Amino acid sequence: MYKKRIWTVSNNIFKVIITLIALYWVSTKISFNDLKEAFENCSPGYFLLGLLSYAISQIIASSRLNTFLQAIGLNVSERYNMRLYQLGLLYNFFLPGGIGGDGYKIYFLKKNHNIRGRKILSAVFFDRLSGLWALGIITGVLVMFMPRLEIPNTVTIACLVLGSATYLYVMHLFFRNFFKRFIETHIKALAVQGFQVLSAVAILYAMNFQGKFSPYLLIFLLSSLVAIVPSILGGVGLRESLMTFGAEYFQLDSHLAVLISLVFYVISLLIATSGIYYIIRPSRLGTDRMPSATEVEQELEKEE
């Protein structure tokens, strides 16, 4: 237990250091005045469209998770699941380490239903994995629309087919309950990523961009990999760093790339703050008070 706590603290300190370094590096590429000016000059209509698109993506993502939960025999209402998902979004921004929003979702589901935490963890894991699969599919499609990369379409299609086939085979072999729900969950996964791409398109329009969207959307999708890795403050700084590297590699406007990422971050943060309501009103989650991170960690460790 003591060694694990040392590891957790060390891991969190490492994440803070990496995030601070990333933020400092990004600050050399763009100033807060640039961000303020971007918001002042952006089109409110397109910004709201970007906000709406991201909100829809999270509603679908919540439904996708519930489908995975149903696959393990856990039936909760879409409303209750959405409440847990909102709380998870909030904690994914502000709780670094191994707990985060997923830990709280597992805690509440395990506490209120007669089911092992490991089964819930497997559902949450495949929920994330389906998102990674959808990210790969949409990224591959974008690559095929970018001849400047000089990657033959046959190579891209072969990689997508081979990767998907391997993923399906492993799921069918070891996780039959999830395999039976493959079409439903992965259509939702594609919809989640699709609406987030639409949000990025709306941000580009809001900033009055008139050039080719595909290169910026490609690096936007690649930078989305940061969201899969647990980090602090929702991965701020890390995503912008990847956007900048991508922009420099493709010879794009790195200033614009960072602005896109920061505006998207603000949008995701606005949606995540809806989870504050359940901290103020924990009764909506069927509890008298919100458990601390330590309580959640201890509960999750019981099965280890």
Q: What is the DSSP letter of 73?
A: T
Assigned token pair, 96: 């670094």
The pLDDT profile of the chain, 304 residues, written as one tens digit per residue, is 555 555 455 555 555 555 555 555 555 556 667 667 777 778 889 999 999 999 999 999 999 999 999 999 999 999 999 999 999 888 887 765 556 788 888 888 988 887 888 899 999 999 999 999 999 999 999 999 888 888 899 999 999 999 999 999 999 999 999 999 999 999 999 999 999 999 999 999 998 888 889 899 999 998 887 766 555 455 556 777 788 888 888 888 888 888 888 889 889 888 988 989 998 898 888 888 888 777 787 777 776 5
Per-domain residue ranges of the chain: 48-207+269-301
For the chain, give the number of residues. 304
Q: 3-class DSSP state for residue 288?
A: coil
pTM of the model as a whole: 0.86
C-alpha neighbours within 13 Å on the C-beta side of residue 60:
21
DSSP 130-180: HHHHHHHHHHHHHHHT-GGG---HHHHHHHHHHHHHHHHHHHHHH-HHHHT
Assess contact for 258 and 30: CB atoms under 8 A.
Answer: yes
d(CA 159, CA 165): 10
